[in-house]
Structure 1
Amino acid sequence: MNFDTFLSKYTENEELRVFDDEDLESNDLLTERINTLEDLFSRLGGKTFNNGLVRVCTKKGAYKLTRCFEKMYSNGKDNILVFAFDWLGRHFAIDYTGKNSTEDQTFLLEPGSGEHLLIPAGVEGFFNYILINLAQDALAAESFNEWFNISKTVIGFDECVGYKVPLFLGGDDDFHNFEITNTEVYIEICIQLLHRTKKLKPGQTINSIRFEDN
């Protein structure tokens, strides 16, 4: 895979790069798929670009985040692989449903709304075309620039700007409902809230929230 076009337009925050502390030891289908993307993870893995606008997972990060999102979007089935994420905690994943190639399509997974959107590009096309020509659609780049100019904050690799109140609970999609939070914690909270509110009737009141350890 070649990512030169992407790298010519995006600037790495070298001080924020992270590395896996050990090799991925699992021996399953997800690990096999991660290993097929060696070019991606060896060149871009663990890197932050444009002050946190977009980041690329390490191999272990990809494994862990994929398992998290399987609970939300695919009922535990092995049909996605998370490989990158943006400033809003939205993650990008390869869709393997009925396919065996990484050059098919990508999903944008949104934990704050519980929705997922199709991006018609594989991994290489995602970086070299989508993030170059459609950065506003894929990353909400204009909103990020506005937020960054106000906050002057570089988001850490393991952080995102998440919703204080998720959209599926009636939260507003504006800066007043944003806060910097740990990405994995944000995902887990959204997953639990989403699962526990699916059967609520419109207008039904939530009296209390209790989170459970996995």
Structure 2
Amino acid sequence: MFDLFSSVFKVDGDGAVATMPTDSVARDPDIVALRALFAGMSFNRGLYRVLENSVAGTIQRTVGHAFPALAARIECFGVDWLGRVFSADSGRRIDGKSAVVMLEPGSGQALEMPCHVTSFHDEEICECADAALADGFSRKWLASGGASPMVSQCVGYKRPLFLGGRTSFIILNSQTSTSTGRYQPR
């Protein structure tokens, strides 16, 4: 379990993770296994992060307000560098397990993914990193001088697309911000 993920995704920094008190306990057994190995770790220069229990609980409450129809069904386990939250959705099943849903703050969409937590890590993001995590855009961001987002940060639009922001100038229209701030009204 998570063998391919471990070989493709490299831990940022020294791999040390500060422990924090927990206010959320994973229910999904695959998330329990994921956190046992990778909780709080950031990978590939901030491209993807596995949430630890305490952070997951905070993000869970925040995205529950933004996506109330999903609030009771989802369990957050990871975030990418753009602030998109990956969750297990108990309302959909893939191979008998909760399916993954990506919650996108920039568009306000919940995108159903054709995988469960284990296949998300060992197949989806390893084989389709650009489609799943916008890896190509991340590389452009870093090459243009953008910083790797810290664990509490993400890269987002200075001017949201729905307010006239442009995707053709995506690097110029991007900045780092706090991850949870992307889900709150401005």
| TM-score when normalising by structure 1 | 0.77
Is the CA contact (8 Å cut-off) linking 1:16 and 1:156 kept in structure 2?
no
Contact kept in structure 1, 2:31 and 2:117, CA below 8 Å: no
Rg larger for: 1
SS at match of 1:151: coil
Structure 1 SS opposite 2:20: coil
Query: How many residues matched?
Result: 184
Q: Residue 5 of structure 1 aligns with which residue? A: 4
Query: Secondary structure at the residue paired with 2:136?
Result: helix
Structure 2: runs of 5+ lacking an equivalent: none
Q: Report the residue type matching 1:118 in the other structure.
A: E
Partner of 1:185: 181
Secondary structure at the counterpart of residue 58 of structure 2: helix
- In the other structure, the counterpart of 1:148 is 142
> For the structure 1 residues 126 and 71, does the alpha-carbon distance in structure 2 shift closer, same or farther, using more than 3 Å as the test?
same
Farther-moved stretch of structure 1 (12-21 vs 89-98): 12-21
Is residue 14–residue 47 contact of structure 1 (8 Å, CA) maintained in 2?
A: no
The equivalent of 2:161 in structure 1 is 167
Q: Is the 8 A contact 2:153 2:177 kept in 1?
A: yes
Asked if structure 2 preserves the Cα contact closer than 8 Å seen for 1:11 and 1:50, the reply is: yes
TM-score by length of 2: 0.88
8 Å CA contact retained: 1:94, 1:102: no
3-state DSSP class of the match of 1:68?
helix
Q: Is the 8 A contact 1:17 1:48 kept in 2?
A: no
Q: How far off its partner does 1:106 sit?
A: 0.8
SS at 2:147 equivalent: coil
CA distance in 1, matches of 2:81, 2:51: 13
SS at match of 1:105: strand
Report the CA distance between 1:120 and its aligned residue. 0.7
Q: Which has the higher helix share?
A: 1
Q: Percent identity?
A: 29
Cα RMSD after superposing both structures:
2.3
Q: Determine which structure has the larger strand proportion and give its number.
A: 2
Corresponding position: 1:87 with 2:86: no
* SS of residue matched to 1:46: coil
